[in-house]
Chain A
């Protein structure tokens, strides 16, 4: 009986580690990364995983072993101990060091992703974002600045549902919401940011592979939250320019016909 319980407790780390190790084969693991800062996020994940795995396996195995060893039927008494000062110091100090390592290891990446003073300053920057991505119940649209390069003017170009960006370039865009809180999430970019009504939030990423990616709304925004899907299309530079030209054509002609 006591063996059964000990094995049961032991099963958790064993199967737990097994699942994590084989998860990749089942597709229960990260979707492929296609952004420049993705790898440093993944590296952090693995660093923490290593530390956590050691503590996890260590503590769980000890627990199972103690439960087995000390539940043997015996007539004598247990160890009469109220603790051990040195031991307390040791097991406070070691995790403290580990935790500090974890804390410091991530600061650089965080600053890179989110600190505005570190934002890219190339063709697209906080002053000249590539577009404004606007969320509303339950859809997405990308608003590109027209000729004048300024968003919020008459020549803005609006593309519903799909956000098109050039590959291998630092892309800065403004995130807005018209109604409730939504969130911009593309798993392959390792990027998530809430869209906050009343605020304009600058966001950046650099996608390294062409393709079409699901844009997922990651913040509960009402009954239609589950279907608030959009798309991010990463294309080559020429394709991107072509896309903008087509969009301009579409809007420009429509607008002029109405005016005349």
Chain B
């Protein structure tokens, strides 16, 4: 049993006063940020899975579920969905421009994405106002509870995405986005596509089914 603890020797054990930082790269050849964003999106998937799972359970457990078409403006929202899908396309274009280092292209396509995203949120807020004016508050019944929770949290995600894109747009306008760090645009793009995809799912189950 070697209980003895090696004596402390400042000459050997003290940190070198003047040293370098060693930062290694291991694992699959994926950018760290991209890897992390995927992990983050996994948590987001689980978050929405919680909400959607709740919706499914509650809907199954309710004898008569109202027809969404009677209660919601499906056509406006269908248009809104179309808009959001378009914004995914403009986002792809923005990332492409960023890869090439085209500042003008980034500003244009990113700007368009931001515009569409903001419109989407605007239309949703308008829809909320209409509904609330008709007294359709979240505490009226379980249909409205789930409706507001799901669309509301999605709306918050879109809004956060818009803010994120605006930050990048400003950075690009200041000339801080270039070929080397185009990844900043791509990461936001991944998030944007995710939010878009979630909406397609939500729209289908909340508005159409």
Query: What residues of chain A have their CB less than 8 Å away from a CB belonging to chain B?
Result: 71-74
Contact = CB atoms under 8 A, between A and B. Distances in A.
A141 B113 CA distance: 63
B63 to A, nearest CB: 12
Secondary structure class of chain B's binding surface, majority of residues: loop
B1 interface: yes
A72 B1 CA distance: 7
Interface string B1-19: 1000000000000000000
B5 to A, nearest CB: 16
A225 B67 CA distance: 42
Contacts, number: 4
Contacts of A72: 1
A71 B1 CA distance: 7
Nearest to B1: A73
Contacts of A74: 1
4 contacts: A71-B1, A72-B1, A73-B1, A74-B1
B103 to A, nearest CB: 57
A194 to B, nearest CB: 17
A171 to B, nearest CB: 29
Contacts of B1: 71-74
Question: 4 tightest CB-CB pairs across the interface, nearest first?
Answer: A73-B1, A71-B1, A74-B1, A72-B1
A74 B1 CA distance: 6
Contacts of A73: 1
B55 to A, nearest CB: 18
Nearest to B2: A75
B1 to A, nearest CB: 5
A119 to B, nearest CB: 23
Nearest to A74: B1
A69 to B, nearest CB: 12
A73 B1 CA distance: 5
A87 B115 CA distance: 65
B161 to A, nearest CB: 38
Contacts of A71: 1
A11 B1 CA distance: 25
Interface in B1-59: 1
Nearest to A198: B61
B170 to A, nearest CB: 52
A201 to B, nearest CB: 15
B59 to A, nearest CB: 16
A73 B3 CA distance: 9
Interface in B88-139: none
